[in-house]
């Protein structure tokens, strides 16, 4: 249905409700920065080894914070990360000239976008896209707040502070930086809906691609560790002193992480036309709000279930077609219980047998980026035919949320048909994405 | 043994000063009434806000797994809990 | 797609009548002294802003409910309730899975974030207040609207600076058009804390020494900052007709673009490409001839660079054809807080005098711009209005509105 058209007829509305009414959208590239390192490979290897990147960190002095671990991004390999590059047409953009205007979150985003573009075979092509063809859909909860905190600390101390430190503070900074790097002139928008941001951004990209608003979308998110969120989640006593243990009986809270994740999304025909192979198909997206409480999830999981149901309907598939779940799984008592109820509502009896993985146990909760990095891991799981385990833990799976968590070794699922990735946010905004394994040109 | 009654007075003052309950004065708070659900009708975030205030006021540390338990059922039980930590 | 309700809170007070009067008269409400006791402001810097009288919000959000809300949440919930009252509907209309919420905010909840940082950085992380944290996240206002209204559809918060409000309308409209929502509460909310105000001044964004916004004017010297919230109810024309809700205005189309030459806190040089993007959007909306657009509601705010780019983009899109009358409501509403969005809708709705309003703050055209905003001369009823906003950092968003 053309974007921006006048009021749709009932028939158009009915048809548009299912993703089948629009063109199919593929993931053609992926890039990531996480506590396991800069790149998709360190992320994947760390997760598949059942390791955790959640450990004591050095970004700021945490001695007076209630907890002392996080999944901090290590320094990039020497000389391997281009922080600023030439933008379209050989003209340098403003952010190139003043690299100091880039926040750490911006740098994560640019690295992930660069890796994704290269993986899609598009890094040369992106700056030369036709006008309006390229767009960025990003999620972030704090943008350049880490740098902003430094500035604000100066102010509190009665000093002036340097403006460049606050210039990059905006939540829309990372998404805008990516758009600037590639000279995009299409839609650029940043979602800041807490833990659902990345998934909502990917959903927005899907809608824009289907509607023909863009031809190539860089969709994902970025967030960096900062004292505001680290202290904030600790004020809610929501953070475990140990690395989080989703779905386990003794789980005691979440772990915070940082990084970025970017997916290159294009119409399927476009990917195939240049002889590239999709990593997976982005089949559907759905979202719904608990409208219940500002911090606690609605305990019966109704809002989460509604988001999942909407995503399934959007993808035109049934729950029985989903072969594994990348759960939101923060490791708090309340989230995992509510999420389990949602999975039971959707999958019924089958929920207990449906393989589930919890990426946050490996890389922590990336906040505004979490939905994006978990979507990326879901895509890799389909493309590589295996589901990563969670790190070993002493306590058993909680009998009141008995998810079939993958433990020990990766679970081989070479024939998985479709996968669900869920994001259940602080404030009650829930988002779900459905990815389909790419099996070849003839579906 | 610290005076539980004076602890209770300070706890009621903390509730009034930190939880922004319109028109509430310390003498209006029934020490035996439930704090959460009914009674004052506080919720989990109010509990956490009160914990921060109590830790600061009394110089004690309250562990996460102690919050929301029986100690927090009423002003009276909370005051006894605090007095036991002083 | 139609807009069937408008709730707005700002320096003009609560509700659209006060804003409409101010717009029609070309008279901004009085700006208020910003609290400078924090010591962030510089001597000789800007010190006033268009601030919502807090007491006016109390009937909409009583203290018992507001006790844990930060300023943006209070503004947003108040505006949502004003919208509901505006269309005379039963609250049950908004409750349920069919109502999406899409809000934008330029800077998020700044006063609570600042207070929380004070606790963490100056006192101790263990002094961090859960109240402050839960209300310092950008999506708190949208979440509070959902709770207040029982709105259980998609809940999205967009952060794209000055382009956020029109982007939020477009996003909400897309949800409804695609059948993912039956209706959407869409809009914008901003608070203007002293620290944020001082920062905008340090970046040279605020009008000084005379704190007057002069859109497109030769002597324009910056914006006047504002706080507030605007919430619209968007739905299909069929749904509105079925329930007997009279549309205020029609939404004919929406779209956005980006100027990659813009620095993160300023405007760029990409007017030609933005002009072409605007032409493409108009074509997609079924506007065959650009002269069908007979009114523009421009986001020009008094910013030297922003207004220049806005003028260049409009000139680029219109090419050789003469521009229609250009309204520049930010002379009355200030920048941020959703006032511009409300003004654009009121103009499209044909509310008395708003669609032909004089431009507050405008005295003399800037020869470099080649655009003079409207002077208040009566105009025939409009057929199609283009609302335009260009954000610092490069985003651009447009909306095409029509009369009901």
B55 interface with C at CB cutoff 8 Å: yes
C368, containing H or E segment = none
A71: which strand partners? A257
Decide if C168 contacts C190 (C-beta within 8 A).
no
- The catalytically annotated residue of A48, A62, A226, A365 is A365
C187 dihedral zone (left: phi>0; alpha: psi -120 to 50; beta): left
pLDDT per residue as tens digits for the range C75-98: 999 999 999 999 998 999 999 999
Mean pLDDT over the full length of chain B: 92
Using the structure block, give the residue that is written with the tokens 């036309």: A273
- B24 touches C: beta carbon within 8 Å: no
Distance CA A63, CA A55 (A): 14
Mean pLDDT of A417-437: 97
Average pLDDT score over residue span C128-157: 98
Q: Can you give the length of chain C in residues?
A: 404
Distances in Å between the Cα of A388 and the Cα atoms of A380, A405, C201 are 10, 10, 50
- Residue C233 neighbours by CB under 8 Å, 6+ apart: C3, C4, C5, C6, C83, C84, C87, C183, C184, C185
In the three-class reduction of DSSP (H, G, I as helix; E, B as strand; rest coil), residue A282 is classed as strand
- The verdict on a CB contact (< 8 Å) between C125 and A64 is yes
Over 60: is that where the pLDDT of A87 sits? no
Cis bond before residue C247 (omega within 30° of 0): no
pLDDT exceeds 70 at position A93: no
Pairs of CB atoms within 8 A across A/C:
287
Cβ separation A194–C285 shorter than 8 A: no
* Chain B interface test: which of C62, C65, C68, C125 (most B C-beta within 10 Å): C68
Chain A partners of C259 at a C-beta cutoff of 8 Å?
185
Reply yes or no on whether the pLDDT at C216 is more than 80. yes
Alpha-carbon distance A422 to A430, whole Å?
8
For A431, which DSSP code? E
Look at domain A25-437 and name its CATH class. Answer: alpha beta
Q: Are strands A404-405 and A322-326 parallel, antiparallel or unpaired?
A: unpaired
Q: Cβ distance C178 to C206 under 8 Å?
A: no
Q: Chains touching chain B at 3 or more Cβ pairs under 8 angstroms?
A: A, C
Q: Does A331 touch chain B (CB under 8 A)?
A: no
Facing B22 at nearest CB: one of C67, C128, C134:
C67
User: How many Å lie between the alpha carbon of C190 and the closest alpha carbon of chain B?
Assistant: 23
What is the reported pLDDT for C13? 96
d(CA C253, CA C283): 10
- Tell if the CB–CB gap between B67 and A252 is shorter than 8 Å: no
Contact C158 A232 (CB under 8 A): no
Q: Quick one: tokens of A324?
A: 């594994």
Q: Would you call B45 and C131 a contact, using CB atoms and an 8 Å cutoff? A: yes
Chain A positions touching C126 (Cβ under 8 A) are: 64-66
Give me the residue spans of the domains in chain C.
Answer: 2-248, 250-402
Task: Kindly name the residue from A48, A62, A195, A401 that is annotated as catalytic.
Answer: A195
pLDDT at residue C150 tops 80: yes
Contacts of A284 in chain C (CB under 8 A): none
Distance from CA of A296 to the nearest CA of B (A): 8
Mean pLDDT calculated for residue range C31-58: 95
* CA angle in degrees (0–180, nearest 5) for A174-C335-C45: 95
Distance CA C169, CA C399 (A): 8
Q: Do domains C2-248 and C250-402 have the same CATH topology?
A: yes
Measured between beta carbons, the chain C residues lying within 8 angstroms of B45 are: 68, 130-131, 134
Q: Which has the closest alpha carbon to C12: C331, C333, C342?
A: C333
Q: Does B60 touch chain C (CB under 8 A)?
A: no
Domain parsing of chain A, residue ranges? 25-437
Q: Which residue(s) pair with C96 in the sheet?
A: C151
Contact residues on chain C for A206, CB-CB shorter than 8 A: none
pLDDT of A94 strictly over 60: no
* Out of A6, A188, A295, closest to residue C286 by CB: A6
Q: Where are the alpha helices (DSSP H) in chain B?
A: 4-18, 44-58, 75-85
Of A237, A293, A296, the CB nearest to B64: A237
Catalytic residue at A195?
yes
The answer to whether residue A92 scores a pLDDT higher than 90 is no
- Write the burial class of residue A10 (CB in 10 Å: 0-12 exposed, 13-18 middle, 19+ buried): exposed
Query: Chain A contact for C92, CB < 8 A?
Result: no
The answer, for C172 touching chain A at a CB cutoff of 8 Å, is no
Give Cα separations from A90 to A82, A133, A181, C21, C261 (angstroms). 16, 19, 11, 50, 12
Q: May I ask the CATH architecture of the domain B4-85?
A: Orthogonal Bundle (1.10)
Asked if the model's pLDDT at residue A16 lies above 50, the reply is no
Q: Do B44 and A296 touch (CB under 8 A)?
A: yes
Per-residue pLDDT at A397 exceeds 50? yes
- Is-catalytic flag, A328? yes
C-alpha R_g of chain A = 20
The reply to whether residue B45 touches residue A253, judged by beta carbons under 8 angstroms, is no
For residue A99, the model assigns a pLDDT of 56
User: Strand, helix or coil at A189?
Assistant: strand
CA distance B10 to chain C (A): 18
pLDDT at B1: 61
> What band does C140 get if pLDDT is binned at 50, 70 and 90?
very high
Cα gap C321→C341, rounded to integer Å: 26
Taking the C-alpha atoms of residue A124 and residue C219, their distance in angstroms, rounded to an integer, is: 44
In angstroms and rounded to an integer, the radius of gyration of the C-alpha atoms of chain B is 12
d(CA C217, CA C304): 9
- The minimum CA-CA distance between C263 and chain A, rounded to whole Å, is 5
Q: How far apart are CA B83 and CA B7, in angstroms?
A: 7
Chains that touch A (3 or more CB pairs under 8 A): B, C
Query: Are C376 and C27 in contact, with CB atoms under 8 Å apart?
Result: no
Q: Convert the pLDDT of each residue in A33-57 to its tens digit.
A: 999 999 999 999 999 999 999 999 9
**CATH domain C2-248 topology:** Peroxisomal Thiolase; Chain A, domain 1 (3.40.47)
Domain boundaries, chain B: 4-85
Of the listed ranges B69-73, C66-70, C153-157, C319-323, the one predicted with least confidence: B69-73
Tell me the pLDDT tens digit for each residue of C348-376. Answer: 999 989 999 999 999 999 999 999 999 99
Inter-residue contact C159 to C108 (CB < 8 Å): yes
What pLDDT band is residue A163 in, cutting at 50, 70 and 90?
confident
pLDDT reading at A85 higher than 50: no
Considering only CA atoms, which of A109, A125, A128, A308 is closest in space to residue A219? A109
pLDDT digits (tens, 9 = 90+) for B25-43: 999 999 999 998 888 889 9
pLDDT confidence band for A80 (50 / 70 / 90):
low
Q: Of residues A48, A328, A388, A401, which has the active-site annotation?
A: A328
pLDDT in tens, C369-384: 999 999 999 999 999 9
Q: What is residue C49's three-state secondary structure?
A: strand
Q: How many residue pairs from chains B and C have C-beta atoms closer than 8 A?
A: 24
Q: Report pLDDT for B2.
A: 76
Alpha helix (H) residue ranges in A282-397: 302-315, 333-347, 360-363, 370-384
Q: In whole angstroms, give the CA distance from residue C194 to residue C41.
A: 8
Residue among A252, A253, A294 minimizing CB distance to B45? A294
Stretch A189-195: mean pLDDT? 98
CB contact under 8 A, B48 and A237: yes
Characterize A82-94 residue by residue with b for buried, 16 or more Cβ atoms within 10 angstroms of its Cβ, and e for exposed.
Answer: eebeebbeeeebb
- Give the β-pairing of C326-327 and C295-298: parallel
**Could you give the CA distance from residue C399 to residue C340 in angstroms, rounded to a whole number?**
12
Please, what CATH class does the domain formed by C250-402 belong to?
Answer: alpha beta
Instruction: Tell me, yes or no, if B22 comes closer than 8 A to chain A by beta carbon.
Output: no
Chain B interface includes C122 (CB < 8 A)? no
Angle (nearest 5°) at CA C160 between A206 and A25: 10
Q: Could you identify the residue written with the tokens 């562990």?
A: B63
Peptide bond before C209: cis, by omega within 30 degrees of 0?
Answer: yes
Residues of C in contact with A316 (CB under 8 A): none
The residue of chain A nearest to residue C154, with distances taken between CA atoms, is: A288
Determine whether the interchain pair A235/B44 forms a contact, defined as Cβ–Cβ distance below 8 Å: no
Cβ contact, residue pair C284, A4, below 8 Å:
yes
pLDDT in tens, A294-349: 999 999 999 999 999 999 999 999 999 999 999 999 999 999 999 999 999 999 99
Token pair belonging to A46:
């760390």
**Mean pLDDT of the A99-122 span:** 92
Q: Is C33 on the interface with B (CB under 8 A)?
A: no
Q: B48 vs A235: CB contact, 8 Å cut-off?
A: yes
pTM of the shown model: 0.96
Answer yes or no: are the C-beta atoms of A131 and A185 closer than 8 Å.
yes
pLDDT of residue A10: 44
Q: Is there a contact between C292 and C365 (Cβ–Cβ < 8 Å)? A: no
E strand or H helix at A205, and its extent? helix A197-210
CB distance from B17 to chain C under 8 Å? no
- Yes or no, beta carbons of C130 and B45 under 8 Å apart: yes
For the segment A363-381, what is each residue's pLDDT rounded down to a tens digit?
A: 999 999 999 999 999 999 9
Q: How far apart are the first and last CA of chain B?
A: 9
Tell how strand A280-289 and strand A37-38 pair up: unpaired
How far is it between the farthest Cα atoms of chain B?
34
User: Residue B56: which of B28, B14, B24, B25 has the closest Cα?
Assistant: B14
Segment C265-282 shows an average pLDDT of 97
Catalytic residue at A365?
yes
- Arithmetic mean of pLDDT over chain A: 91
Q: What is the pLDDT of residue A100?
A: 60
């Amino acid at each position: 249905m053309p974007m921006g058209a006048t009021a749709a007829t009932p028939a158009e509305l009915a048809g548009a409700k299912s993703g089948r009414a629009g063109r199919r959208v593929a993931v053609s590239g992926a890039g990531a920065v996480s506590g396991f390192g800069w790149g998709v490979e360190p992320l994947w290897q760390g997760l598949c080894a059942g390791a955790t990147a959640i450990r004591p960190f050095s970004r700021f002095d945490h001695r007076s914070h209630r907890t002392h671990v996080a999944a901090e991004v290590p320094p990039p390999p020497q000389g391997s990360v281009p922080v600023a590059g030439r933008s379209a047409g050989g003209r340098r953009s403003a952010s190139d000239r003043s690299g100091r205007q880039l926040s750490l979150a911006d740098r994560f985003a640019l690295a992930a976008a660069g890796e994704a573009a290269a993986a899609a075979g598009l890094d040369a092509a992106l700056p030369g896209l036709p006008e309006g063809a390229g767009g960025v859909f990003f999620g972030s909860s704090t943008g350049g707040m880490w740098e902003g905190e430094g500035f604000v600390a100066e102010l509190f101390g009665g000093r002036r502070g340097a403006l460049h430190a606050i210039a990059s503070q905006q939540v829309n900074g990372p998404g805008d930086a990516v758009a600037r790097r590639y000279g995009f002139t299409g839609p650029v928008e940043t979602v800041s809906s807490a833990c659902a941001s990345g998934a909502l951004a990917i959903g927005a990209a899907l809608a824009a691609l289907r509607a023909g608003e863009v031809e190539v979308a860089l969709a994902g998110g970025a967030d960096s560790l900062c004292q505001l969120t680290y202290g904030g989640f600790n004020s809610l006593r929501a953070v475990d002193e140990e690395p989080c243990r989703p779905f386990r009986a003794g789980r005691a809270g979440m772990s915070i992480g940082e990084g970025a994740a970017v997916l290159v999304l294009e119409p399927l025909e476009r990917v195939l036309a240049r002889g590239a192979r999709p990593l997976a198909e982005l089949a559907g997206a759905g979202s719904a709000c608990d409208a219940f409480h500002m911090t606690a999830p609605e305990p019966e999981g109704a809002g989460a279930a509604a988001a999942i149901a909407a995503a399934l309907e959007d993808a035109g598939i049934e729950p029985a077609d989903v072969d594994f779940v990348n759960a939101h799984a923060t490791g708090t008592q309340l989230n995992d219980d509510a999420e389990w109820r949602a999975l039971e509502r959707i999958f019924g009896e089958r929920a207990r047998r449906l393989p589930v993985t919890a990426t946050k146990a490996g890389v922590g909760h990336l906040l505004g980026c979490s939905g994006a990095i978990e979507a990326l891991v879901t895509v890799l799981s389909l493309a590589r035919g295996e589901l990563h385990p969670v790190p070993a833990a002493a306590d058993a799976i909680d009998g009141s949320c008995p998810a079939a968590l993958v433990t020990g070794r990766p679970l081989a699922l070479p024939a998985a048909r479709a996968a669900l990735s869920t994001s259940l946010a602080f404030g009650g905004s829930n988002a779900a994405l459905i990815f389909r394994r790419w099996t070849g040109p003839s579906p | 043994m610290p005076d539980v009654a004076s602890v209770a007075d300070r706890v009621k003052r903390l509730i009034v000063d930190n939880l922004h309950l319109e028109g509430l004065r310390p003498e209006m708070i029934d020490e035996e009434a439930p704090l959460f659900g009914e009674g004052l009708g506080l919720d989990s975030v109010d509990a956490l806000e009160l914990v921060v205030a109590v830790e600061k006021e009394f110089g004690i540390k309250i562990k996460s797994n102690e919050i929301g338990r029986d100690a927090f059922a009423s002003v009276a039980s909370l005051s006894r809990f605090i007095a036991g930590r002083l | 797609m139609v807009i069937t309700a408008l709730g707005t809170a700002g320096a003009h007070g609560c509700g659209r009548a006060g804003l409409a009067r101010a717009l029609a008269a070309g008279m901004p409400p009085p700006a208020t002294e910003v609290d400078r006791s924090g010591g962030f402001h510089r001597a000789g810097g800007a010190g006033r802003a268009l601030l919502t009288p807090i007491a006016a919000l109390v009937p909409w959000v009583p203290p018992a409910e507001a006790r844990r809300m930060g300023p943006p949440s209070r503004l947003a919930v108040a505006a949502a309730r004003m919208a509901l009252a505006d269309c005379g509907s039963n609250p049950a209309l908004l409750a349920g899975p069919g109502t999406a919420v899409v809000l934008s905010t330029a800077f998020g909840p700044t006063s609570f974030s600042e207070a929380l940082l004070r606790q963490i950085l100056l006192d101790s992380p263990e002094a961090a207040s859960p109240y402050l944290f839960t209300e310092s996240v950008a999506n708190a206002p949208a979440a509070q609207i959902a709770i207040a209204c029982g709105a259980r559809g998609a809940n999205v918060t967009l952060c794209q600076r000055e382009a956020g409000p029109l982007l939020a309308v477009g996003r909400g409209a897309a949800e409804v058009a695609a059948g993912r929502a039956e209706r959407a509460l869409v809009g914008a909310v901003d608070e203007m804390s002293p620290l944020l105000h001082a920062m905008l001044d340090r970046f040279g964004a605020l009008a000084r020494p005379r704190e007057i916004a002069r859109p497109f004017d030769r002597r324009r010297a910056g914006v006047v900052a504002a706080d507030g919230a605007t919430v619209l109810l968007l739905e299909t024309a069929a749904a509105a007709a079925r329930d007997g809700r009279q549309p205020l205005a029609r939404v004919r189309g929406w779209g956005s673009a980006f100027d990659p030459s813009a620095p993160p806190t300023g405007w760029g040089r990409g007017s030609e490409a933005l002009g072409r993007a605007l032409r493409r959007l108009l074509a997609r909306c079924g506007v065959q001839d650009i002269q069908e657009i007979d009114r523009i509601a421009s986001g020009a705010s008094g910013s030297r660079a922003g207004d220049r780019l806005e003028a260049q983009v409009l000139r680029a899109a219109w090419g050789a054809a003469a521009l229609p009358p250009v309204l520049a409501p930010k002379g009355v509403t200030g920048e941020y807080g959703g006032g511009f969005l409300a003004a654009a809708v009121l103009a499209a709705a044909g509310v008395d005098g708003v669609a032909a309003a004089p431009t507050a703050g405008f005295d003399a055209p800037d020869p470099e711009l080649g655009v003079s905003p409207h002077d208040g001369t009566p105009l025939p009823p409009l057929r199609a209005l283009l609302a335009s906003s260009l954000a610092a950092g490069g985003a651009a968003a447009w909306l095409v509105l029509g009369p009901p």
